[in-house]
Amino acid sequence: MPVKELLLLGNPLLRKRSTEVQPDSDEVREILEDLKDTLAHLQKEKGIGRALAAPQLGYLRKVVFVNVRDEKNPVTMTLINPRIVEKSKEMIEVWDSCYSFNIAFFVKIKRHRKIKVEYLDEKGRKIVEEFEDDLSEILQHEIDHLEGILATDHLRSGKDIIMREEWEKMYR
């Protein structure tokens, strides 16, 4: 499949809620192929990023693809119709960006340190799994996309925004 164009901040489709899908369907297979191809392209082009949600490609469907390219702990997973069923009280502060922001800037926000997510895999099996720290943060970000919520919605202060160039100098 070809690499799809991303919807960018300001596009009204990013603010709409997604609908659930049937896991073993042609629609989901097409969405997943587009998510995988587009994420691989973006990771190579931008040198950053770990996941994509279907709404970012204009599909208002509850599908997320994660590909964490960490040599020590690589993670590749598909989440269909995911929902957070439990959140820890403990919070972590993170610098969050988004391909829909063109990774041009980061926002400092709070996320739950641990979450429990219920989702279906590609074969329709129900999975309930706990995630913490980085995976918790990225899944909260992607599941927010499915509800029309962007990382900027969690911003507490205008002082908590940093351009990518400055973020790179300070945190990479």
Just list the catalytic residues.
Answer: 142
Collect all residues with Cβ–Cβ distance below 8 Å to 16 and sequence separation of at least 6: 55, 60, 148
What is the DSSP secondary-structure string of 24-92?
Answer: SSHHHHHHHHHHHHHHHHHHHHHS---EEEGGGGT--B-EEEEEE--SSS-EEEEEEEEEEEEE-S-EE
